[in-house]
Structure formats: C-alpha cells, structure tokens
C-alpha cells in the first residue's frame, strides 16, 4: 500500500474504476497517514473520520453501479473556510468556534456531485489573513520539509497536507497569494483561477473582490482534473462569469512551441533569495528549451501593488467581518452588561491579533476624511495595475515570475513585523488585484533542500494556457522527485 502516496488522482481514479482498490480502503489509508504524521505537521484542524468513511462507502456503491464522477471516491482535504452543511466550519477563528453551517458552499456541492470524500478541515491563517499559517486559533501548521519552518499561508494546511501525502489533493483559497505561496513553499502545484471562474458562494469572505478558490495537487494534470470539477458559473454569485468551461485536461501535453513568455523586469528585484534567483534562471532556460521565446516585459505599477492590496483587502475585510457580532452564531462571552459591551467583548476575544490589525487598517482607510486618500486612491491605482497586465498580454502569451521571494521561513520569524510578513506576497498579489489566473509549480530546491516555486500568469479565463505551460514545464524541467522525510 505504501506506493499509494506516489499516485495522482488520475492514477487512483483508474484503480478505483478497475476495483483494484476501494474508496474505503483508500480513505482508511489516508486516515492512517494523518494519524501517523499530522501530530507533527498539524495540517488538519479536524479530521472528519466518520463522515469520510460514509462518503467513501457511498462512493464505492456508486462505482459498483457504474457511475463515474470526476472525483468519485477521491479523498480530499478542505480548507476550513467553506461552509459545509453539518460540519463545524471555523475559518480558524475562535469567533466561529462551534459554528455548524446549515448550508453547503457551491464548491462543496460541486465536489459532492463529483463524489469526493471529505477527509477533514485544513488549517489556515485566521480568516485567511496571513502568509504563514501562524495566526490560526487552533495552532500553527508546520512545513513537512522542515518542521521548524512555516508552510506558507494562508492555505498552509492545504499545501502541507498534499506535500505530506495526508490527502491526494486539497482545496484552498487565494486572496493575495494564499494558494500559490504555500504551494511554492511546500513543493506542490497550486492554482488561483480567474476571479469569477469558481463560485465564491459559501466561501467565508476575507476580501470579496480578491478572493478566489483553487486546488492544491501533486501535479499539473491533477490540477486540471480538479479545475474541471470546481469551475463554472453559479447564479448564486453576482460576480460569477457565465462562460463555458473547457476540459482543462485537454491542455496537458500540448506544448508551448512558438509562445512568447514575458519576464517582468520589476519582479527580479533585490532581496530575492539567491537560490530562487538561480532556479528562475533555470526555469527561463527550460521554457526556452520548450520552443518558447522569453521576452522582457514591464509591469510598471508593480511597486504599488502591496500598498494597494493592503488598503483594499483590509477595507473589504473590515466590512465582511462585521457580521461576527455574537448575535446569530459563533462565539459570545458571558456577562455582558449591555449591547456595546457584548459587541466589544465578543469581537476582542473572538478575533486574533492579525485579524484585529486588519480590521483597524480597513476601518481607518474607509473612515470619514480618509476614504479618498486611501480607498479611492487604491481603487484607482488598481485600475492602473490591471491595465499593466492587459498591455503585457498583448506582448506575450504568459508571464513567468518567482512565486515567493524567499523559501519557507522560520516559525515566528516575521510575526512581530507585519510589514515584513506582508512582503511575502509581493509576487502574488498583483494577480488578485487584476483578477487574472496564476499557477505555482515546483521548480527546484534551495541548497538547504527547501522547495521553490515558479509562477505562471495568463489573461482572464486563460487557465487552459496555464495548464498548458505548467504541464510542459513540469515534464521538461525534470525537477528531482523528492518527498519530505517524515
């Protein structure tokens, strides 16, 4: 059974269909692995064993009946940010402790329709606010490649669980890099689709105009399979886009001969870890070896992205998080003398430091007298950032950048310096501001054996192109296969 951990969704699906293995066996295998290894890593907030085995049993029946859902019988880990009917959903916050959603997020419905198995709830930064999975109320998650280091964030649990083979694939969310950065730091594939491609209904909102859902997988083909399952229009979301979804697996092995790949000069800055810089040089060579031409491009407003992001995201968050007031659900401390007291006690004790910090920044940026200087200004610069990409994609088919300026850093290293922590997202946030899709694929290791990720970006709704270039890159780059030593 040990070789199961080598297998991808594509391969396991075949075994399931040929009845070489049952979904229950598979699920038990992962439940065992979680028991053995997750004590050190803590990628899961909660393992839903009974629920998982029931779903696996149902899947086995469906397989026996000849059904063939895209994820039928496949055990997945779910970031604890999607409302799941009957399953405690916390967003890694004390304020939602005990909250049992009475409804399913659209993404959960879609996964159910495809027959997935819900292994458990993956850890994350509280309300997805962080780059290291250190702000969770339920404790930190460790990087399987080095337990002294962070797995990235906010979807750190989702990345670590795939890296440690505690699930075949997982689902995360990305507001400023929360899928791609931990995917890079944990050596797995992570995609943030175009804004509007995957329904946000039931995704607990951090920053509504930036949030997007995407998969973590072992390879690019699995990413395509997951995207096939989750992408598509949802009438329950006004910002969902009613466009047909292609079969993403068709973009595998198409090659990129004749493509132009843009290398934005603003992304190769001082401060990038030297091993990452070297890996990027190799990546450029690999891309050219595939018959593409790399061209230098400019995204002139890159230096403003971080400032824009850290105004818009907290502003939206300050409003999105106003509903956690102790009235309708979640945490409420005892002994409030009046309503105002109850509000303040609930929110002060219910939210962690980083969430409070962002509520403060966002509230300030929207408050009377400062709106124009901050929120309005940021929204205007956002338009310029978007335009940069539109112009860039007239010159190239895709863009290649590092995913993160550094490999996984030490636990606690940046916790006292919010701005340093925010800089971890410097290469990923522009994507969210522009709404375009991005993918992070493994592109080597540092001297110390930490994974490095390369990021490809494409125009709106061109996830197919990303699958195409990332899968070609994955095959041709021939990155050494390693597993974290657990």
Partner 1 sequence: MPYEPVIGLEVHAQLLTETKIFCSCSTQFGAEPNSHTCPVCMGMPGVLPVLNRKVVEYTMKMALATHCRINEACNFARKNYFYPDLPKGYQISQYAQPLSEHGYVDIELDGGKKRIGITRIHMEEDAGKLLHDEHLPSSYVDLNRTGVPLIEIVSEPDMRSTDEAVAYLKRLHEILVYLEICDGNMEEGSFRCDANVSLRPRGEMMFGTRTELKNMNSFRNVQRALDYEIKRQQCILESGQDVIQETRLWDDSKGETQSMRGKEEAHDYRYFPDPDLVPIVIDNAWTEEMKKSLPELPLEKRERFIRDYQIPPYDAGVLTSSRALAGYFEEVARLSGKPKIASNWVMGDVLRFLNEEKRDIKECPVLPGSLAEMIQLIEDGTISGKMAKDIIVEMYRTGKSPQAVIEEKGMIQITDEGTLEKTVAEVIAANPTQLAQYRGGKEKLFGYFVGQVMKATQGKANPQLINELLKEMLAKE
Partner 2 sequence: MKIDKGVVEYVAHLGRLALEPNEVELYTSQLNRILEYMDSLNTLDTEGVESTSHAVPVTCVLREDLAKDSFSVEESILNAPEKIGSSFKVPPIIEVEE
Q: Which stretch binds partner 2 (CB under 8 A): 151-159, 287-295, 306-314, 444-452?
A: 306-314
C-beta closer to partner 2: residue 54 or 377: 377
Q: Which two tokens stand for residue 483?
A: 């597993």
- Geometric angle at alpha carbon 162, from 161 and 167, rounded to 5°: 80
Question: Which partner, partner 2, partner 1, none, binds residue 67 by CB below 5 to 8 Å per kind?
Answer: none
Q: Contact residues for partner 1 (CB under 8 A)? A: 82-83, 89, 91, 96, 99, 101-103, 105, 200-205, 207-209, 235-239, 315-316, 318-319, 321-323, 325, 327-329, 339, 343, 363, 366-368, 371, 375
- Binding letters toward partner 2, positions 432-451, x by CB under 8 A: xxxxx---------------
Q: How far is the CB of 261 from partner 2 (least distance, A)?
A: 23
The alpha carbon of residue 138 and the mean position of all alpha carbons in its chain are separated, in whole angstroms, by 19
Question: Which partner, partner 1, partner 2, none, binds residue 83 by CB below 5 to 8 Å per kind?
Answer: partner 1
Tell me if 379 contacts partner 2 by CB under 8 A.
yes
> Interface residues for partner 2 in 329-358 (CB under 8 A)?
329-332, 336-345, 347-348, 351, 356-357
| Contact (CB, 8 A) for 255 and 290 | yes
Q: Which two tokens stand for residue 442?
A: 């493994």
C-beta closer to partner 1: residue 205 or 441: 205
Q: How far is the CB of 128 from partner 2 (least distance, A)?
A: 17
C-beta closer to partner 2: residue 105 or 164: 105
Tell me if 405 contacts partner 2 by CB under 8 A.
no
Q: How far is the CB of 312 from partner 1 (least distance, A)?
A: 9
- β-partners of residue 143 are 146
Q: Which two tokens stand for residue 39?
A: 């004590």
Q: How far is the CB of 362 from partner 1 (least distance, A)?
A: 9
- Geometric angle at alpha carbon 359, from 354 and 365, rounded to 5°: 125
Q: Name the residues annotated as catalytic.
A: 79, 154, 178
Task: For residues 406 and 138, give the distance between their C-alpha atoms in angstroms, rounded to a whole number.
Answer: 26
- Geometric angle at alpha carbon 289, from 286 and 290, rounded to 5°: 95
Q: How are strands ordered across the β-sheet holding 117-122?
A: 44-47, 117-122, 75-79, 169-174, 212-217, 189-192, 438-445, 451-457, 398-402, 260-264, 293-297
| Contact (CB, 8 A) for 379 and 312 | yes
């Amino acid at each position: 059974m040990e070789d199961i951990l080598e297998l991808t969704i594509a391969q396991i699906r075949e075994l399931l269909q040929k009845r070489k293995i049952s979904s229950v066996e598979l699920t038990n295998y992962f439940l065992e692995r979680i028991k053995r290894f997750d004590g050190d890593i803590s990628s899961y907030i909660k393992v839903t064993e009974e629920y998982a085995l029931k779903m696996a049993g149902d899947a086995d029946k469906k397989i026996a009946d000849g059904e063939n859902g895209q994820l039928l019988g496949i055990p997945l880990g779910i970031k604890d940010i999607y409302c799941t009917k009957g399953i405690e959903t916390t967003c890694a916050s004390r304020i939602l402790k005990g909250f049992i959603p009475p409804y399913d997020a659209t993404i959960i419905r879609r996964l159910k329709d495809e027959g997935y198995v819900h292994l458990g709830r993956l850890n994350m930064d509280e309300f997805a606010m962080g780059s290291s999975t250190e702000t969770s109320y339920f404790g930190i998650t460790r990087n399987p490649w080095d337990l002294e280091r962070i797995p990235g964030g906010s979807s750190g649990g989702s990345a670590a669980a795939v890296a440690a083979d505690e699930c075949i694939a997982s689902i995360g969310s990305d507001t400023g890099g929360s899928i791609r950065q931990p995917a890079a730091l944990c050596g797995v594939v992570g995609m943030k689709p175009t804004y509007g491609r995957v329904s946000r209904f039931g995704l607990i909102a951090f920053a509504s105009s930036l949030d997007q859902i995407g998969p973590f997988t072992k390879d690019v083909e699995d990413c395509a399979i997951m995207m096939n399952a989750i992408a598509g229009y949802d009438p329950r979301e006004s910002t969902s886009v009613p466009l047909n979804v292609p079969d993403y697996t068709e973009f595998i092995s198409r090659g990129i001969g004749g493509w132009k790949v843009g290398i934005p000069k603003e992304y190769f800055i001082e401060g990038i870890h030297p091993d990452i810089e070297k890996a990027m040089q190799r990546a450029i060579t690999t891309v050219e070896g595939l018959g593409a031409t790399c061209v230098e491009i400019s995204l002139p407003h890159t230096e403003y992205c971080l400032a824009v992001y850290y105004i818009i995201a907290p502003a939206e968050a300050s409003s999105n998080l106003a509903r956690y007031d102790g009235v309708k659900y979640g945490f409420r401390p005892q002994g409030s003398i009046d309503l105002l007291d109850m509000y303040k006690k609930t929110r002060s004790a219910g939210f962690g430091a980083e969430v409070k910090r962002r509520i403060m920044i966002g509230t300030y940026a929207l408050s009377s007298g400062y709106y124009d200087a901050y929120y309005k200004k940021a929204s205007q610069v956002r338009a310029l950032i978007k335009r940069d990409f539109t112009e860039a994609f007239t010159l190239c088919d895709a863009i290649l950048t590092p995913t993160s300026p550094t490999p996984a850093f030490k636990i606690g290293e940046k916790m006292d310096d919010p701005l340093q922590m925010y800089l971890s997202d410097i290469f990923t946030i522009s994507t969210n501001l522009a709404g375009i899709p991005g993918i992070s694929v493994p592109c080597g290791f540092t001297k110390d054996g930490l994974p490095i990720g390369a990021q490809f970006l494409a125009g709106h709704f061109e996830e197919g192109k990303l699958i195409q270039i990332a899968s070609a890159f994955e095959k041709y780059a021939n990155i050494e296969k390693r597993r974290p030593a657990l």
